[in-house]
Amino acid sequence: MSKSGPKSLSELMVDANSPVKRLMDEAHSRIELADRIRAGLPEPLDQHIEACNLREDGTLVVLATNPEWAARLRFESDKILSQCRQQHPGAARVKIRVWCQ
């Protein structure tokens, strides 16, 4: 007999069919991607990446802390794409955006 009623958060975090689990996995994947991109960049550029996301169409979106750092990161687009392709060979292009809080 299946258990009815609300599930605990810990149950939702391990259930492969849970939306919570899928969100956790997606967040973890994006954090790993941003860390990989940061690792391939020199200081202080690496410190000015807020987040990264790889879209289904192969576009890597990199969010910079402000417009000045976004401009500097654009000069590193080839290097950033190369870093991404080590883990995600389908990456096709890079878009650098400014993080808006």
Predicted confidence (pLDDT) per residue in 42-99, tens digit: 999 999 999 999 999 999 999 999 999 999 999 999 999 999 999 999 999 999 999 8
- DSSP per-residue string spanning the chain: ----SPPPHHHHHH-TT-HHHHHHHHHHHHHHHHHHHHHTS-TTGGGGEEEEEE-TTSEEEEEESSHHHHHHHHTTHHHHHHHHHHH-TT--EEEEEE---
pLDDT band for 10, please (50, 70, 90 cuts).
confident
pTM score = 0.81
Q: Per-residue pLDDT tens for 54-69?
A: 999 999 999 999 999 9
Alpha carbon 22 to its chain centroid, in Å, reads 14
Domains with residue ranges and CATH for the chain: 9-98 (3.30.300.20)
In sequence order, which residues have a C-beta less than 8 Å from that of residue 34 and are 6 or more positions away?
Answer: 49, 50, 51, 52
